[in-house]
Amino acid sequence: MVKKATALANANIALVKYWGKRNEELILPYNSSISMTCDGLFTTTTVEFSEKYKEDIIIINDEELKKDEKNILSHLEKIRKMAGIKERVKVVSESNFPVAAGLASSASGLAALTLAATKAAGLDLNQRELSILARQGSGSACRSIYGGFVEWLKGEKEDGSNSYANQIVDKNYWPEFRIIVTILTEAKKKISSRAGMVQTVKTCPFYQGWLKTVEEDLKIVKEAILQKDFPKLGAQAEYNCLKMHALMMTTKPSIIYWRPATMEVIQNVLAWREEGLQCYFTIDAGPNIKVLCLKKDKKEINKRLLRLEGVIKTIIAKPGDDAKIIDKYLF
C-alpha cells in the first residue's frame, strides 16, 4: 500500500470570530463561530509515511520546520496512533498566500494536513471526524474541511466530541458573495493568535461581555446568510470584528495588530458606504483587512482599494469548495 496522499484545503474568513479557548489542549472554544471558505486562497499538502525516513521531515513553503514546532508534530503523532502505524513521515506544504499574517493560513494548512495524513495513514474518516481532528491542530481548521458558509459549534462536552464544524449552505447557495482580501503586509505577526487568546481570556475586563453578546451575532449572521441579506450580514460581521479587536486592545499587555494602512482602509470603506457603495470590513488577528461585497460591486471596490497607498495587493474570493484529495504530489 502506498502511504502517500495530497490534499488541498481553502482558507476560511470568519464572519463571526472565535477568540478564547476553554480547553487549550483540545482547542475547545468559548464561543461558536461562522466563516466563509474562500475559493482561491488554498494550501496544498503532500504526506508520505515510510520506513525510509529516519525522522519526521516537515517543509512549509520551502522552509524546513524547526523541531520546536510542537503542534504539527504532535498532530501527526496523534494520526499515527489512530492508524496504528510507526513509520516516520515527510510533509511538504505550500500556501498560495502569506502565512501567519492574519489570513487564516493555519486553517487551510491544518485542514490539508489532516486530510492528507489520515488518507496516507490508511484512515477513512468522514467530514465530521476530520473536522474534530483538524480542530485539535488549529481551531479554525475545523471550518476549512467544509466549503461554502460554515458554523463551528463550540460544544459543551469536555472531550470535545460535540465541537465541530457544520456546513450552513454550500458554495452555490450565494454565488454573488465576495470577500476582497486586502494585503497590507506579508510579514509574520509578532503575537500568534494562540498566545493572544490566552492573554485576553486571562486579563481582558470585557471578555465576559463578548461571551454574552456573541450568541446574538451568530443568530443574526446565520439568518442573513440563509436570507441572502447582504447589509444585515455585513453590518453584524463588521460589529463582531470590532468587538474582537476591542478585546485585544484592552488585553494586558495590549495586542494591537492594526497599522496605519489598516485604519486607512477602514475609513475608506465607511466613506464608500456613505456614498451608497455596499461594502463592509472584517479583520482577523493581524493587520490585513477583508472587504465584504457583492459580485456587482467587486470591480469598483477593488479598483478603489488598489489606489490606496498602503495596499500591496488584493485577492478576490468567492465561496469555495470542501477540502479534497487531489492527484498531484509535491515530492
Question: Which residue type occupies 261?
Answer: A
Span 118-122, average pLDDT: 98
Closest CA to 144 of 118, 121, 122, 164: 164
Helix/strand/coil for 26: coil
Helix/strand/coil for 116: helix
> Looking at residue 65, what is its pLDDT?
78
Task: Please count the other Cβ atoms lying within 10 Å of the Cβ belonging to residue 304.
Answer: 18
- pLDDT tens digits for range 66-118: 654 568 999 999 999 999 999 999 999 999 876 655 555 789 999 999 999 99
Question: Does residue 192 or residue 160 have the better pLDDT?
Answer: 160
* pLDDT confidence band for 326 (50 / 70 / 90): very high
Span 223-252, average pLDDT: 98
> Could you write out the DSSP letters of every residue in 227-254?
HT-HHHHHHHHHHHHHHHHHHHHTSSS-
Question: Which residue type occupies 180?
Answer: I
What is the distance, to the nearest Å, from the Cα of residue 320 to the centroid of all Cα atoms in its chain? Answer: 13
- pLDDT tens digits for range 247-282: 999 999 999 999 999 999 999 999 999 999 999 999
Q: At a CB cut-off of 8 Å and minimum separation 6, what does 22 contact?
A: 28, 29, 30
> Looking at residue 253, what is its pLDDT?
95
CB of 120 closer than 8 Å to CB of 5: yes
> Looking at residue 190, what is its pLDDT?
79
Residue with cell string 464544524: 165
**183: which strand partners?**
313
Question: Which residue type occupies 233?
Answer: L
Position 34 pLDDT exceeds 90? yes
* pLDDT confidence band for 283 (50 / 70 / 90): very high
Helix/strand/coil for 88: strand
Gap between the Cα atoms of 231 and 224, Å rounded: 8
Question: pTM surpassing 0.75?
Answer: yes
Q: Exposed (0-12), middle (13-18) or buried (19+): which is 68, by Cβ within 10 Å?
A: exposed
CB of 66 closer than 8 Å to CB of 73: no
> Looking at residue 194, what is its pLDDT?
85
Gap between the Cα atoms of 328 and 7, Å rounded: 9
* pLDDT confidence band for 1 (50 / 70 / 90): low
Fold of 177-317: Alpha-Beta Plaits (3.30.70)
Question: Which residue type occupies 138?
Answer: S
Domain boundaries, the chain: 4-171, 177-317
Please state which CATH number belongs to domain 4-171: 3.30.230.10
Angle (CA) 233-318-127 rounded to 5° is 90
Q: Is residue 274 within a helix (H) or strand (E), and if so which, with residue range?
A: helix 260-274
